Structure 1
Amino acid sequence: MVVNGVRVPERGFVSRSPAPTWEHGLITGNGRQGAVVHGTPGAIAIDLAHERLRHPVQAPLDPPPTAEVLPELRRLLRDGRRQEAADLVVTVAGKADPGYAELRWIDPFIGAGTLTLTLDPAADWIRATDFATGLVAHAWHDGRGEVRVETFVSRPHDVVVVRLRADHPVAGTLLLRPVAGEPRRPVAHELVTDRAGLTLRGRFHTGSGYAITTRLRCDGATAPAGDAVRFADVTELVVLARTTVTGHPPPPVAAPAPRDDLDALDALPGGDDLLAAHAAAHGALFGRSRLILGAPAAPSSEELLADPTDPAVIAALYDAGRYAIISSTGELPPALQGVWSGTWHPAWASGYTLDGNLQAAVAALEATGTPELMLPLFDLLDACREDFRRNARRLYGARGILVPAHLGTHGLANHFGPRWCLTFWTAGAAWLARLYADHWRYSGDLAFLRARAYPFMVEAADFYLDFVTIKDGRATFVPSYSPENNPGGGEAQAALDATADVAAVRDLLRNLLAAHGALGLADPRAAAWRALHDALPAYEVRGGVLAEWLHPALRDNHGHRHASHLYGLWYEPDPPLLADPTLRSAAGAAVAARLAWWREQGDEMAFGLVQLGLAAAALGLAEPAYEVLTRLAGRYWRPNLVSTHNAGDLFNVDICGGLPALVVAMLVGAGPARPPDAPPVPEQLRLLPALPAAWPTGEIQGVRARGGVTVERLVWSPDGLTAGLRGTGDVVVHTPWGLPRRVRLTPDTVMTVTVRAGMDGSGPAHVGRDG
């Protein structure tokens, strides 16, 4: 289909909605550099950003020395004086460093500059994004013919490419400016203009800075015009742009050199060749997974979003979310805004928020076939390890690592306050250790396990061995924190024995002991890990609902956007939550209680819905999981098909990763985690564990599961399902029909499993090799 000269992409969309600001623009990126295109035909604006470009506004401080007052903190918390405990941290911090007199934020992720093409205005225009190639386009007719502006960011050549093409000669102006607004601290800018292009340099007060260098290619005439470049008699104009960051080393991951010397931009191939190379590299990542539900989606995003219950909407957002995360993962993982910015003042400084946001953004990378995109996260965490050690020592006098809730150009715990008492949140390292363990479990890569995952898990466990106290055989977590909830609905968020803390540490120790065995080690610390694991308290049920805090004095507060107490269901389910009928029912009641709050007033922090949906899917609660999914689809996406943090507000990519992860969890589920001493058993693969009634037929391709299993293709209908599986060794396949089937897989052959539904709800299975 062609609309106004723009081909509607097979996997992508067109839109007629205006894009007055960068937050409404179309996105393209190669992970290192991002471009977001907005404006109108009279002024096409392209905001450029670089993954390392953060405005240095506050130097990091040493974490507060609260280890010195830890006994007092624990006494206050156990006496029920929870707010006083949070206040004490602030007091100790202020005495140690006057910089803590104000709330400390990380350095904000900022836009590098805005490249603007000014042309004759036109009224009738359309814009499009092709997810498969990474190309965004704007096209219109100006009375004489078609004009088209295309933009992409090359993965192989690390350059932003903007190409203007017209059916007839056109004239206009090319401008390059700093992004709109006033920075928090002054930035010195210098613009250099000549007929070959424009260069914008920005210098921060620290002496560090950045530069945008452009080169022009056209078939007409160009000339400097003050601080702009004029072009005339042009039917094709190509702008090559690259942002470089200088003298500002953090984030601490080593920065590679640009793929081409800046002076060699003119030596790059032509626009068609650049696009072909980029489309191949980008498409190799994007094309690994696909969801097909119902009829093809409506051609325009506006029509698409009008009915979030249309199955095709979910398929389109599955693509849109994966596209955004792939396009914003480079040498660093995606920040809150991915790799896009057009502001000096992004929400929450657009850092890496580790109490849920970043985990949601990367949640689908393993399962949808792009495991290499997890490595930048591990690179960042490993590079911050010394800061994490400093946090553990200063805050709690402990060995090991303590991960802060917010991370940017450093990993020190600087962000906390009397209400948001984030120094009490200690589950970060355990939670992130799950992602290291999963990278091993999905790939079977023992070299990664030995060199990277195991050392991280060991240091995470070292902290908990020192921090957790055991009395009468029961471990307690004091202080504790269930992000970002306050027990009983009161003001104080400080807590004791948060369920999420216990569940995350149980998960860590279980994975660590499994890794220890897989590597054939005889680590003397293993006995201590097992002892701590066995001392962890069991889940609690209060009023028929899974309790968010295990301490008897703390009451639940179900009216909240997070669902942290359901952590044990987000990855491999904690066995008691599935096997114990009382706990399983209580977990379902917790899902229902949170979902009721979202129905009544929840319009903020969409990734909390992802947490809720993953828990529902693990419990086999298809309709609640589907309700979560359609709420995500119907309230948190703009016509540019980029998600928002709140309903209709704040450009944010959390659920760009979270929505595809939830879809996968509903269609291909994990079996329960294995207890530490369990004998080896085949992997458990659950097909259609939470299939909603709204999807009677469908197909998903390219899903990976733990144990090195790949579901090449899963097709279902009311008559049953057919799955093409690949892997190594035995796997037990569970389906909605009949008994589980044990299947032996090989890496080089697709094994076809066909299960037919009979009149009584069960039916025979057929297992065979494909080809």
Structure 2
Amino acid sequence: MGAAVVEVISSIEMHGIRDVTPAGRWEDAFLSGNGEYGIMVHGDPCRERVLFNHHRFVLPNGTHDARPPHLADQIEQVRDLILSGRRAEAGRVLAGGEPLQWTQAFHPGYAMTLDSDADRDVVDYSRATDFTTGEVSVHWGGRVHRRCFVSRADAVVVQHIDGGGEVIIGLTGELPGRPDSVRYQTAAYSIGGSVQLGIRGTYPEGLGAYGFEGLTLVLGDATASGDRVAVRGEALLLTKLARYDEPGWGTADLEAALAALGGFDYAELLARHTAIHRPAYQRVSLDLHVPAADRDLPVGDLLAQQNADRSALRPALLEKLFHSGRYLLLSSSGVLPPRLTGLWLGEWGAAWSGDFTTDANVNLQMAGANIGALPEVTAAYARLIYAQIRDWQTNARAIYGARGILAPSRTDGEHGHLFHYNDDWPWAAWLPGADWLLYPLYEHSLVTGEGLGELAPWLVEAALFFEDFLTRTDEAGHVVFVPSFSAESGPPDETGHPVYAAANATMDIAAARHAFRTAKAVTGSDQWDTLLDRLPPYRVDERGALAEWAWPGYEGDEDHRHISHLYPVWPLHEITPPGTPALAAAAHRALTLRGDENLSAHGSLHRALVAARLRDGELAYENVRKIVGNDMFFRSLMSSHNPDLEIYNADAAHTLPGVLIEMLVDSQPGVVDLLPALPAGLPTGAIHGVLCRGGVTIEELGWDTDVLRVRLRSPVAQDVSVRSPYGEQRVHLPTAEAVSVTFSASPRRDRRAV
């Protein structure tokens, strides 16, 4: 069992992290996951604590069967109220006096404790995560004593321990914030000559689910005693997790599944997993020409150096965050895409229910999935969308009496019905969600060249909703989007307080235009042209900024974290500096006028993505600095929502790789833009494996102050325009052949194109 475990401590350099102290709190625990199960390893040699999570562990709260409000017969009244200026009253009609209901909150499972001789002399301690394998290991005394991973091949948590003495293993549900209504039971027992260690959590009755459990098979010199297991020498621990909607336990099924894996040793199980994980992780890499000594610094030192001087970004940390972000994004994507906390949580009571917040966060986390060559992540995202998209049809019919689809602003992953709203927050009026949420799946087709398949009819459904919804016109003959909500902001009323129910949110116009154009491409029909011609134009205000609402008299909140009105810039490519320079200048003006509110991670990185599209590398870099330079990464390199490590949240960790790719490569079918937003802070480097919209792969892009070189490959023959700060070349790409292009070292143009 243990003979195949290599007991060496190697440098993980670019593709991993190491620390020289155990995690002092759960947020600093090192992470592994397979997109269904997630573990958090503290790494204490004598008092180890490993937290177990499952993507579908959500606390029932009675909303499992919640349904959208039936408002179709009141919508005309709502429209009249908004157009007559009585917007707050319209919001009350939309909500019908209902309180704000939240999704079922994501919650942690339980902790495994591994206790050994507290007086052991521990020297040369370190813990590490290897991004290429997903393995977390704990080292001291010159060798590996514990290692673990979560298998993509076998859907099991695998742990190998060799403490050199007796280790007492237990399970506990006593995690911070545990509700009294959730009851735990633990047990250790022998069955068929093997030792099992189990834990069950029972939910309060009548709220939508029964409970959850974890079961560990302990292989080695093990003895069950009470609810704990004593292990001497080496042991292999295999763990399965499950959640149950109906009363009853599936323990026997877990026992059988674990027994089927009991014939493998650790190395065999790792090899089976690595064969799936490693190729996905290694498709893309970033090299900022960081000295090897800096790359190999403990993660605590990297963070301390950055926090000591927040005025500039340290390339060693930025490079590490790129790779850790890809690792965490991949590891938290499988049966579902990443939640607000990815796949990990160490306490109950997650902020915003730890759900999938769909008006910004989940799409931002997806920013680097397609262009970052992680179709596994996009497939997980597709599972979430397709499992609930028929609920979006129910939303559209109930609220507006319309065909098509209307997406909710949040979901816990169990259904897609829209029920989160109240008098102040008119989420029933958030119209662009379907187009916004389908875009990552559409982008997958642009990147891979694959057909739309299952997506095609749903793209048409998004257009059908707008076709039925747009029943009002203005004096110029343009359709009016009413009710309309620009998440999560609203024009102020006469007292200066924001009122969120409004008309003609810019994001709505962009979503409808994209939906109609896409439906036309899918169906080949000209029926959408009339509606396209009747859409209102975007409004540019007296400051020269793209307005958040194309409606007279509305003013925006310029200190708000959301920038929904810049949807036509990112991700849509509708507004671009080369194609629509005047609107691009207006969008840039809107971006620079927007403040930072609470410096939330998603706000800053959304700004960075838009800045990159607008060819402003310094502004993009500055927004990245707001994240990296404001103490927003734990020692696990998972991120926080706000500066100074406030609120465990995956937005920054998962979005940052996409931001850096967009700064280095932008693309549309037939066009590849190299270094569109390269800041002075990244004077040299290389990136490998980026995928372009249009099916081109950038096998390598290298740049420094003297030369820019790129190697391109396409699965089909095509001609592309390759643009860079040094000029443009028209390049023919033969089928499946690599083509290298070099740009001379003439003085670079100003990258601020707007």
Q: Which TM-score applies when normalising by structure 1?
A: 0.87
Residue 662 (str. 1) matches residue 659 (str. 2) = yes
User: What does the per-residue CA deviation read over 1:293-345, in whole Å, with 9 as the maximum and x for residues that have no partner?
Assistant: 13142511122223261222221111011101100111211111122223332
- Equivalent in 451, 454, 463 of residue 452 of structure 1: 454
Residue 746 (str. 1) matches residue 754 (str. 2) = no
Residue 563 (str. 1) matches residue 563 (str. 2) = yes
Structure 2 residue matching 1:494: 3-state secondary structure: coil
Give 2:722's aligned residue.
733
Separation of aligned partners in 1, 2:748 and 2:181: 73
Cα distance change of structure 1 residues 114 and 561 upon mapping to structure 2, 3 Å threshold: same
How much has 1:133 moved relative to structure 2? 1.1
User: What does the per-residue CA deviation read over 1:96-120, in whole Å, with 9 as the maximum and x for residues that have no partner?
Assistant: xxxx4x4211112222221111123
How much has 1:152 moved relative to structure 2? 0.7
Separation of aligned partners in 2, 1:129 and 1:496: 50
Give 2:71's aligned residue.
66
Q: Where do 5+ consecutive residues of structure 2 fail to align? A: 1-6, 307-311
How much has 1:419 moved relative to structure 2? 2.3
User: What does the per-residue CA deviation read over 1:631-656, in whole Å, with 9 as the maximum and x for residues that have no partner?
Assistant: 22223211110112222122222223
Separation of aligned partners in 2, 1:452 and 1:444: 15
- Equivalent in 683, 688, 697 of residue 701 of structure 1: 688
User: What does the per-residue CA deviation read over 1:641-688, in whole Å, with 9 as the maximum and x for residues that have no partner?
Assistant: 0112222122222223311111111111124xxxxxxxxxx6111011
Separation of aligned partners in 2, 1:266 and 1:503: 51
Residue 582 (str. 1) matches residue 582 (str. 2) = yes
Give 2:363's aligned residue.
359
Separation of aligned partners in 1, 2:161 and 2:439: 46
User: What does the per-residue CA deviation read over 1:50-81, in whole Å, with 9 as the maximum and x for residues that have no partner?
Assistant: 12222222133221122221112112211222
Give 1:592's aligned residue.
592
Residue 340 (str. 1) matches residue 344 (str. 2) = yes
Structure 1 residue matching 2:60: 3-state secondary structure: coil
Give 2:440's aligned residue.
435
How much has 1:42 moved relative to structure 2? 2.8
- Equivalent in 620, 625, 639 of residue 620 of structure 2: 625
More divergent stretch after superposition (415-424 vs 4-13): 4-13
Aligned residue identity for 1:663 = L
Structure 1 residue matching 2:553: 3-state secondary structure: coil
Give 1:161's aligned residue.
158
Residue 466 (str. 1) matches residue 463 (str. 2) = no
Give 2:4's aligned residue.
none
How much has 1:366 moved relative to structure 2? 0.6
Residue 215 (str. 1) matches residue 210 (str. 2) = no
Cα distance change of structure 1 residues 761 and 406 upon mapping to structure 2, 3 Å threshold: closer
Give 1:678's aligned residue.
none
- Equivalent in 401, 418, 421 of residue 416 of structure 1: 421
Separation of aligned partners in 1, 2:581 and 2:459: 31
- Equivalent in 360, 383, 395 of residue 379 of structure 1: 383
Contact 2:333 2:376 in 1 (8 A): no
Residue 283 (str. 1) matches residue 299 (str. 2) = no
Give 2:353's aligned residue.
349
Separation of aligned partners in 1, 2:642 and 2:504: 29
Residue 293 (str. 1) matches residue 288 (str. 2) = yes
Separation of aligned partners in 1, 2:261 and 2:676: 54
Separation of aligned partners in 2, 1:416 and 1:162: 44
How much has 1:184 moved relative to structure 2? 4.7
Cα distance change of structure 1 residues 491 and 184 upon mapping to structure 2, 3 Å threshold: farther
Aligned residue identity for 1:567 = Y
Contact 2:726 2:747 in 1 (8 A): no
Separation of aligned partners in 2, 1:576 and 1:270: 55
How much has 1:180 moved relative to structure 2? 1.4
Separation of aligned partners in 1, 2:517 and 2:346: 43
Cα distance change of structure 1 residues 269 and 412 upon mapping to structure 2, 3 Å threshold: same
User: What does the per-residue CA deviation read over 1:492-529, in whole Å, with 9 as the maximum and x for residues that have no partner?
Assistant: 22221111111122222223323334xxxxxxxx3332
Give 1:425's aligned residue.
430
Structure 2 residue matching 1:277: 3-state secondary structure: helix
- Equivalent in 102, 105, 129 of residue 102 of structure 2: 105
Separation of aligned partners in 2, 1:7 and 1:435: 38
Separation of aligned partners in 2, 1:424 and 1:183: 35
- 1:30-41 aligned at under 5 Å gives the runs 30-38=34-42, 40-41=44-45
Separation of aligned partners in 2, 1:568 and 1:272: 49
Contact 1:103 1:417 in 2 (8 A): yes
Cα distance change of structure 1 residues 557 and 147 upon mapping to structure 2, 3 Å threshold: same
Separation of aligned partners in 1, 2:749 and 2:532: 41
User: What does the per-residue CA deviation read over 1:377-404, in whole Å, with 9 as the maximum and x for residues that have no partner?
Assistant: 2222222122111111111111111000
How much has 1:421 moved relative to structure 2? 2.1
Q: Where do 5+ consecutive residues of structure 1 fail to align? A: 95-99, 250-254, 518-525, 672-681, 763-771
Residue 118 (str. 1) matches residue 115 (str. 2) = yes
More divergent stretch after superposition (315-324 vs 55-64): 55-64
Give 2:3's aligned residue.
none
Separation of aligned partners in 1, 2:579 and 2:365: 30
Structure 2 residue matching 1:722: 3-state secondary structure: strand
Residue 515 (str. 1) matches residue 522 (str. 2) = yes
User: What does the per-residue CA deviation read over 1:338-363, in whole Å, with 9 as the maximum and x for residues that have no partner?
Assistant: 22223332221111111011101111
Contact 1:364 1:660 in 2 (8 A): yes
The number of aligned residues is: 709
Contact 2:184 2:201 in 1 (8 A): yes
Structure 1 residue matching 2:442: 3-state secondary structure: helix
Contact 1:572 1:670 in 2 (8 A): no
More divergent stretch after superposition (716-725 vs 175-184): 175-184
Contact 1:17 1:639 in 2 (8 A): no
How much has 1:470 moved relative to structure 2? 4.7
More divergent stretch after superposition (173-182 vs 433-442): 173-182
How much has 1:266 moved relative to structure 2? 5.1
Contact 1:577 1:587 in 2 (8 A): no
User: What does the per-residue CA deviation read over 1:452-480, in whole Å, with 9 as the maximum and x for residues that have no partner?
Assistant: 12111111111111112352431211111
Residue 199 (str. 1) matches residue 187 (str. 2) = no
Residue 8 (str. 1) matches residue 21 (str. 2) = no
How much has 1:610 moved relative to structure 2? 1.8
Give 2:481's aligned residue.
477
- Equivalent in 593, 596, 599 of residue 603 of structure 1: 599
More divergent stretch after superposition (78-87 vs 752-761): 752-761
% identity of equivalent residues: 35
Separation of aligned partners in 1, 2:324 and 2:741: 30
What CA RMSD, in Å, does the superposition of the two structures yield over aligned residues?
2.5
Cα distance change of structure 1 residues 162 and 626 upon mapping to structure 2, 3 Å threshold: same
How much has 1:260 moved relative to structure 2? 9.5
Separation of aligned partners in 2, 1:701 and 1:438: 20
How much has 1:698 moved relative to structure 2? 0.6
Separation of aligned partners in 2, 1:368 and 1:23: 26
- Equivalent in 660, 673, 692 of residue 686 of structure 1: 673
How much has 1:611 moved relative to structure 2? 1.5
Cα distance change of structure 1 residues 310 and 259 upon mapping to structure 2, 3 Å threshold: farther
Structure 1 residue matching 2:740: 3-state secondary structure: strand
Structure 2 residue matching 1:742: 3-state secondary structure: strand
Separation of aligned partners in 2, 1:458 and 1:695: 42
Cα distance change of structure 1 residues 248 and 440 upon mapping to structure 2, 3 Å threshold: farther
Aligned residue identity for 1:433 = L
User: What does the per-residue CA deviation read over 1:154-176, in whole Å, with 9 as the maximum and x for residues that have no partner?
Assistant: 1111111122224xx31221011
Structure 1 residue matching 2:689: 3-state secondary structure: strand
Cα distance change of structure 1 residues 430 and 260 upon mapping to structure 2, 3 Å threshold: farther
Separation of aligned partners in 2, 1:136 and 1:625: 33
Aligned residue identity for 2:259 = A
- Equivalent in 691, 697, 701 of residue 710 of structure 1: 697
Contact 2:569 2:575 in 1 (8 A): no
How much has 1:420 moved relative to structure 2? 2.3
Structure 2 residue matching 1:487: 3-state secondary structure: coil
More divergent stretch after superposition (122-131 vs 189-198): 122-131
Contact 2:685 2:703 in 1 (8 A): yes
More divergent stretch after superposition (126-135 vs 27-36): 126-135
Residue 274 (str. 1) matches residue 269 (str. 2) = yes
More divergent stretch after superposition (280-289 vs 741-750): 741-750
